[in-house]
Amino acid sequence: MDVFVARQPILDRALGVYGYELLYRSGGENAYAGGDGTAASLQVLNNCYFTFDIGEVVGGRLAFVNFTRELLLSRAAEVVPPRSMVVEVLEDVAGDDEVLAVCRHLHEQGYLIAADDVRRADQNERLLEMVDFIKVDFRGASPGEQEKIVLKYGPRKGMLAEKVETRVEFERARQLGYAFFQGYFFARPVVLKGKEVPGFKLNYLRILGEVHRPEIEFRRLEELVRQEVSVAYKLLRYANSALFAQRTTIESIRRALVILGETEIRKWVSIVLLMHLASDKPSALVMHSLIRAGFCEALAQLAGMGGRKSELFLMGMFSLLDAMIDRPLREALRDIHLAPDIRQTLLEGSSAGSIGAIYELAQAYECGDWEKVIEGAERLRLEYDEIRSAYLAAVSWCDQVFGTSFPPPTPGESAPEPARC
């Protein structure tokens, strides 16, 4: 059986990644047999805890998994360790005596519980009094109910605003007192036309533009790097690392650039500058970009396009550049030299040929659209297990890079565990 994994970040008030909701989507008859909610959640549990290493999937953070009434009453949650999973009770599960008894038992065993898709303050009140997290549907709850729910339960529960898709909604949720946030506001950027790019970000964009010229002008690049102390410091530290096994210490920026070589310079500088550009953005945005970059690079190799894997790495990385500098992507890419088909794919969302197919496949896998994943796999003549392994490898690589550059806070540091009733 082909196995897939998808995840959606849950952010805390500091915009750090607090956990992930693990998602299941059926891609059709040739992907998974059966499509009911219980079977889907069982598949998620099996895939993430027994087929894969859950640590690779969620990076040590909490995993939120949907539970139907049937799955909840079966005590299936107890097959995985407590404290590693939040049992997310779906909105159509009534809080009757049987369900509440199971929830009490799970609490006693150390499990956390969340109520999903809450739209009213008087919805399923007995269950809401029992859970640790309340996920409020910002698409379905009225502004008045969004406020009523947080006023009623906020002091005692972990209040999570879900389906938050714009910065305005995010700011409103934060002002109302919500502690956690889930949605596409960090991955589906709102284009703020006419907003001035800060000077330091312009410097980063200039360096990106220089490093992606067809032929790098090392003297000009050296001048630009010298102007950014943190970039220069990281460059020298990287060039002197064990990766390059130099007999003498590299003290010159020019020498460090030569040691790395053009291909490695483009990749390394892009990663470093990406993190600087997004320093005032949710950390999940940077992680999303890095995972997509590594995933596109791996898919290029699998699809017989190894000669262009570095370009596809950059395609994935730059796909969220507009969100990082609050400018339309066309403007953000204006001074960056990219191959025509890469640029077309980024600006139009797809293009003819394998480049567009890889980009579409990466996006489909990220959101768990398995039907499109299957179509993309057939188009590129790839096996599903190859795609799955490539994605997990990208997630693992991102966690290593991100952990080195931005050590994430532990859940207890960024947001204390909600009190139980």
- Look up the CATH number of the domain holding residue 83: 3.20.20.450
- On whether both 64 and 187 belong to a single domain, the answer is yes
Q: Are 291 and 398 in contact (CB under 8 A)?
A: yes
pLDDT digit string (tens) for 136-179?
Answer: 999 899 999 999 999 999 888 999 999 988 778 888 999 999 99
Q: Token pair 């190859």 is at which residue?
A: 386
Q: Please give the span between the terminal C-alpha atoms of the chain, in angstroms, as a whole number.
A: 42
Amino acid at 277: L
- Total domains in the chain come to 2
Q: Hey, what are 96's tokens?
A: 């009757």
**414 domain-assigned:** no
- The tokens for 75 are 């005590």
Are both 188 and 330 inside the same structural domain? Answer: no
Q: Which two tokens stand for residue 362?
A: 């990466």
Q: Contact at 8 Å (CB) between 373 and 387?
A: yes
Taking Cα atoms as reference points, which of 100, 116, 102, 97 lies closest to residue 74?
A: 102
Is residue 338 in a domain? yes
Q: What is the rounded CA–CA span in Å between residue 322 and residue 248?
A: 41
**234, 360: one domain:** yes
Residue 367: pLDDT band by 50, 70, 90 thresholds? confident
Mean pLDDT of the chain: 78
Both structure tokens of 297: 């690079």
255 and 355, same domain (yes or no): yes
Residues 171 and 92 both lie in one domain = yes
373: domain range? 199-405
Query: pLDDT grade, residue 186 (50/70/90)?
Result: low
Domain annotation covers residue 417:
no
Do residues 351 and 204 share a domain?
yes
Residue 414 backbone dihedrals phi, psi, to 5 degrees:
-85, -30
CATH number of residue 326's parent domain = 1.10.3210
The answer to whether residues 323 and 284 touch, using CB atoms and an 8 Å cutoff, is: no
Give Cβ neighbours of residue 222 (< 8 Å, ≥ 6 apart). Answer: 253, 254, 257
| 240-258 mean pLDDT | 72
Higher-pLDDT residue of 204, 297 = 297
